[in-house]
Every structure is written in structure tokens, then in C-alpha cells.
A and B are shown apart, each in its own frame.
Chain A
Amino acid sequence: KAGVTQTPRYLIKTRGQQVTLSCSPISGHRSVSWYQQTPGQGLQFLFEYFSETQRNKGNFPGRFSGRQFSNSRSEMNVSTLELGDSALYLCASTPDRGKRGYTFGSGTRLTVV
């Protein structure tokens, strides 16, 4: 069974640009959530999607957005990039409201210069 797949693995962008990250969940998992990991703030929840609907959102500015497609694949977009957006962005999926835990991808390392 394939795990959670995130593409690309690495990205370097310039301040002011926008970026789109992709996540393919485990087959059969309909919930996809996104997290930002930084050395200073640790792991912070961005948002969660289920059946193409955003059900929960963390405390991030509107520059961070996402969506989910009918096949459960999800994308995350960050517009007007800032240096502070440099982080590892993790995607996780679960079939059952997380009761058995969430499975994480390897992440996309975004560097903003």
C-alpha cells in the first residue's frame, strides 16, 4: 500500500512569489491535513479537508490556502511568499477522524530567499 506522497520534495522561491504543494493520501483515506514544521514553532496545523470541504483551519494568514479534489488529492498554496514561510510542509491522511492516528508524508522543504 503506497504511503502519503508529497511533491515536490524541495522548492526554492523568491519573496513575493507564490507556490503550490501537492499531496496524495493513502488510497481510501478521505481526510487530508497540512502542517508547517519549523525549528522555532515546531509543528503547527494549517488546515484539514474531507470530501473536498475544509473542516478545520489553523491560525495562519489568508495567504495560506488549500483545496481537495474528488480523488482526495490535496494542494496547498501560499501566495506572496515571505522569508518566514521557509519551512517543512507536511501532509497527513487518515480514514477515520484520526482515531487510529494520522499517516504523514515526507514533506516538502520550502526555502524562500
Chain B
Amino acid sequence: AQRVTQPEKLLSVFKGAPVELKCNYSYSGSPELFWYVQYSRQRLQLLLRHISRESIKGFTADLNKGETSFHLKKPFAQEEDSAMYYCAYNQAGTALIFGKGTTLSVSS
């Protein structure tokens, strides 16, 4: 079945440590993938698009078609990065299919 998989429910790191949030997808063709973030008591917001290859708030994500992965990385975590992160696939330009999400907890 077509799906987006985020294997970790919770990732706990110390401030200043590197972060990698994993995302794997099982769709064929040229996927459109995104990372969304939901901070406590805030609305879901777009963090990154694979198509733009940008860096937002120090986060980057590279699409690896061979490994069907789109992992989110940051070299030095900050406490304000603590949030729920969702990897998502744009299905037919009409729907986002989300992974289950990973809670990132950054402590000092």
C-alpha cells in the first residue's frame, strides 16, 4: 500500500546535538514531499518542500529516490525546535498523505 512512514514516535535530544527525523515513502514516480511542523498550541505549518531544496530554521531535507527517503536534519538542535513533525506526500495535487508524526523533544 502507498504510505508515508515515520518510524520514530518520539526523538529526544540535548540542545546542540544533531537531529535527524526519518521519513520513508512507498510511492512510485516523482513524489512531491513536504515536512510540516506543529508547535504546541499552534496550527500546522509548512516547514520544507523537497522541490525547493531550501533550508528553513536550520533544517534541511534531501530526497533520496534510491532509498525512498526524505529525512529531516538539523546540525544543532535548539529548545525552540521542540514540536511534532509530520512528513507528507502530495497525492495527485489534491491531498496530503501524512506520516504518523514524530515528537521532537530538545532539552538543555
Contact = CB atoms under 8 A, between A and B. Distances in A.
Interface stretch (A21-29, A64-72, A73-81, A95-103): A95-103
A99 B93 CA distance: 7
Task: Give the 4 A-B CB pairs with smallest separation, nearest first.
Answer: A97-B93, A101-B46, A56-B94, A43-B98
A89 interface: no
Given A100-B49, A105-B43, A106-B43, A33 B100 contact: no
Given A33-B96, A35-B96, A98 B90 contact: yes
Interface in A39-93: 42-45, 48, 50, 55-56, 58, 90, 92
Nearest to B45: A104
A106 B43 CA distance: 5
B37 to A, nearest CB: 11
B17 interface: no
B7 to A, nearest CB: 14
Where chain B touches its partner, the secondary structure class is strand
Where chain A touches its partner, the secondary structure class is strand
Interface residues of B, number: 22
Interface string B71-97: 000000000000000101011111111
A104 B14 CA distance: 30
B46 A102 contact: yes
A45 B90 contact: no
Interface string B45-65: 110010100000000000000
B101 A42 contact: yes
B34 interface: yes
Given A43-B44, A101-B34, A104-B44, 18 more contacts: A33-B94, A42-B86, A42-B100, A42-B101, A43-B98, A45-B91, A45-B97, A50-B94, A58-B95, A90-B44, A97-B93, A97-B94, A98-B94, A98-B96, A99-B51, A101-B49, A103-B46, A107-B43
A99 B49 CA distance: 8
A98 B50 CA distance: 12
Contact of A92 (B86, B96, B101): B96
